Structure 1
Amino acid sequence: MICTLTIVRYPRWLGWAGLLSMALFRLPLLSGKDKGFSKLMGCGKNGTFSKMPDWRQWAVLHTRTSTPSFITAWWRFFRCKVWQLELEPIEGHGSWNGKTVFGALQRETGYEGPVAVLTRATIRLSALKRFWQHVQGVSDVMQQAEGFVTSVGIGEVPWIRQATFSIWESKAAMKAFAYRMREHAAVVTATRKEKWYSEDLFVRFRIHSSTGGL
């Protein structure tokens, strides 16, 4: 399976077009034989889970073989900056809206090269305060971690359904951050012990291509 993640940035004062697109893009993504899985999402301002939405930046994730022409024409018309990645899910666990949207994945493979990671969660209302107390600290550490390339905060619902997409120079570098950095390890432990999430998903991807930029 190959999926496409597109991050789009609208020119100043045109963020309203991005918000409108979240409604208009549903039809072309659900039409035709090649429907697959798709999600329309907003972006946060801090490159990770974020309380503050970035009204100029939006994301589209889908497993179709190509992005519908209406969507690409919309981005051209509004002169958006477009960063598009073709990704192969290789490792992971969890679900998205109760479904294994990337198929049955192994938890580990022998792949050790550059890796992209999607961490997505639905946060329990009772755990919102605890969750957001730890976000900034983990984000600061990640930005300084060895082997970290970049990250984008994306999500379906502000505050509650959040995700971080990050890119690392190697799987080893990503694991060093995830399991050895004290701040992140402490949050992972608290997450499991206090059951912050009603649903979560963790997927690693092999990056097949990356075009454009923000």
Structure 2
Amino acid sequence: MTVVLTIQKYRKRYIFFALLSMALFHFTLLFSSKISFYKLMGSGKNGTFDKNPDWQQWVILAAFKNDIQPENFDKKKLIRQLYGRFINRWLQFFGVQTTSIFLTPLEGHGKWDGKIPFEFKEKNYDHKGQIAVLTRATIRISKLIPFWSNVPAVANKMQNAAGLISSIGIGEIPFIKQATFSIWENKELMKQFAYTMQEHKNVITKTRKENWYKEEMFVRFAIIKSVEL
């Protein structure tokens, strides 16, 4: 299995069409024989869980049934080969900039809408080099206030964390279904942030004690390649 996360950046004048694409793209992805799982999501502004949406930035996350290698694709035809002609023509017509990150699932736990979306051929706890992390959760309605009141302290620290290369806050439903996708120099520095930074440890403790999440998932990926168009 290969997972691809495609970040799409629209121009300001096309924001309406960016919103519209989140409905229209479902028809292509839902009937793709190559894709076993997908999500269409918006983005937050500050690289993590964020109440302020970035109306210009949108995301496709897709799990492909078979392993795919980016070097086997014609770069100019990458989006069409991944997602089909309709999505390719749409993004080209509106001059959308895309970054597609090819990933291999290494290890993880949890579910997404009741499903286990990613396959782990064998859990690789000793992966070396850059690593990507996807953390997502469905927040209980009754816990929205305590959850969001604790986000800023962690978000501010994360942006300056040692080893963090980049991060993006994504989500299906504002405030409720949220995720963070981050890229780190290595697993050790990622774990240093996750398990030794006091603000983050405090949030983990509160999450468990106060049962903030209706559903959650945590997955680590190896990065195969990133392709910008």
- Whether the TM-score (by the shorter chain) exceeds 0.5 is yes
8 Å CA contact 1:93–1:105 kept in 2: the answer is: no
Q: What are the Cα deviations for residues 67-92 of structure 1, in whole angstroms up to 9, with x where unaligned?
A: 22211221111111111100111011
Equivalent residue runs for 1:109-188 within 5 Å: 109-188=125-204
Residue 87 (structure 1) aligned with residue 94 (structure 2): no
| 1:9 to 1:32, Cα distance in 2 relative to 1, 3 A | closer
What is the distance in 1 between the residues matched to 2:116 and 2:60?
Answer: 18
Please state whether the residue corresponding to 1:15 is helix, strand or coil. Answer: helix
Taking structure 2 as the reference length, the TM-score comes to: 0.89
Question: Aligned-pair RMSD on alpha carbons?
Answer: 1.5
What is the distance in 2 between the residues matched to 1:143 and 1:107?
Answer: 28
Equivalent residue runs for 1:1-214 within 5 Å: 1-64=1-64, 66-104=82-120, 109-212=125-228
Structure 1: gaps spanning 5 or more residues: none
Please state whether the residue corresponding to 1:24 is helix, strand or coil. Answer: helix
- Tell me the number of residue pairs that the alignment of Structure 1 and Structure 2 aligns: 213
Q: Which has the larger helix fraction?
A: 2
Please state whether the residue corresponding to 2:159 is helix, strand or coil. Answer: helix
- Percent of aligned pairs with the same amino acid: 50
Structure 1 ranges of 4+ moved more than 6 A: none
8 Å CA contact 2:105–2:120 kept in 1: the answer is: no
- How much has 1:212 moved relative to structure 2? 1.3
Taking structure 1 as the reference length, the TM-score comes to: 0.95
Letter in 1 for 2:55: W
Structure 2: gaps spanning 5 or more residues: 69-81
